[in-house]
Structure 1
């Protein structure tokens, strides 16, 4: 069973849930020492002796960080990292390595690991790296939620409004868009106003930024009249 700070409760589905540091190390004394380090720093901590035990946890969709030993018997650190990646878990991984394992750690970084620390390590340095990984994950989650919200807004546009938006992002004026799509300048202005209202954009720059963040324009929710 994982060890955890007494009295700490974490709701994995809560956006503001406290981050958890997952220590995965087969050496009991190392797991205990890391647990003391992170708990003393105010971080909720779970310790696992094997990669299999950690992966058997009901959910990995939580804020936090994995401190993972590279050279464990059985399932090694790289395989644990690969399994997390296959599950689309966004937990950052900080690897603990021996001197002979540095090439393995470099391969882990190329596969998406957040960082690696050589043993013996400085506790303060490790703690800084773990906090940095947690902060990066938090920022990435905020950006992901923002992108999903922008996608939701853009899906409310009609097909014609989507076309007008593309030309707006391309830098065309309402008169130029009217000549390209057919219809009047006034009609394009109406579409533009509706686009601004539906997307809750505060300015043209805000609208363009929203569109660029999303990337590919989502399929419109409605497929009725093209209301030229």
Structure 2
């Protein structure tokens, strides 16, 4: 059953403990679903919008930001885990900048700039912090700006538990590494994700379900949304 004892603070604490081990996993392309499906899926989705600048929220060690910076796109990466921000900053090129901010702190006044596209790639894990980020999202984007997320597919990630919003324990199952405790995560149904966009002034343009092949279940869920006029 969903566990109400988990919290956004616990999510951050767990990721602080696992930052360096996670970086090794990403550097070694050690997660098959990412290597085979989801990394390419989010990159191609963003490239299709041809942005000149991108806000990468939950950037981690910066792999996605670097991917676009290498193509001449200006990228600002933000993460709530300082060790990950330090790693990303140490690897940064000319078109990249990184900041250590909690999701609740991300606002137009703090960043002093706006973006054509904002992306969250498997980085919307918490509850209150995510909802606060969505409430600030419009002011972070230029008129006509896009907000794109990639997350676990609710129908695949639900498992045997009831299909309803709620906290769930995390797991490193299927990922090799010397990890500490896994962060909990807040499960949202597909309807809840769509409602979260609509409630904060975004219109859904496209929903996609990347797969390894036509017979495989979805590896993830990608939602592309645009500021409502």
Q: Shorter-chain TM-score category?
A: 0.3 to 0.5
Which one has a larger percent helix, Structure 1 or Structure 2? 1
Larger Rg: 1
Which one has a larger percent strand, Structure 1 or Structure 2? 2
If asked which structure has higher relative contact order (CA below 8 Å, sep 6+), I would say 2
TM-score for the superposition, normalised by structure 1: 0.35
